[in-house]
Homo-oligomer: A and B are copies of this chain.
Amino acid sequence: MLDQTIDLDRTFQALADRSRRSMVERLTLGPASVSELARPLAMSLAAVVQHVQVLEACGVVRTEKVGRTRMCRIEPAAMTAAEQWITDRRRGWETRLDRLGDVLSEEAANSKEHP
């Protein structure tokens, strides 16, 4: 429960990279090996492994070694935390706007009552 901030740092950081997002997109279709994730990307396998490690460090991806291949699957709970942070901020902002709307419509009503 504590130190969600570090996880949020890591998760947003992880999603701030196009290659890593494309890996996540691929993994929403189902589990894949590291070299499968590497195939569409123009970089070395070693680089892809490093990206996978970033995704694993923030909990967005879980991996498991099967024989000589490392299978990756998505673990959406970590992404949900990030999503939730944004949602909460938006809700705060929207309720503030709602109150502003209330004030404005109340003022409008008052000016109708006292023209």
Q: Does A69 contact B (CB under 8 A)?
A: no
Q: Does A50 contact B (CB under 8 A)?
A: no
- CA–CA, A95 and B86, complex, Å: 23
**Is A12 a contact partner of B9 (Cβ separation < 8 A)?**
no
- CA–CA, A90 and B49, complex, Å: 23
- CA–CA, A89 and B77, complex, Å: 12
- CA–CA, A74 and B86, complex, Å: 12
Q: Which residues of B sit under 8 angstroms from A29, Cβ to Cβ? A: 92, 96
Q: How far is the CB of A83 from chain B (nearest CB, A)?
A: 4
A-B pairs, top 4 by smallest CB distance, nearest first, are: A12-B16, A13-B16, A28-B92, A83-B86
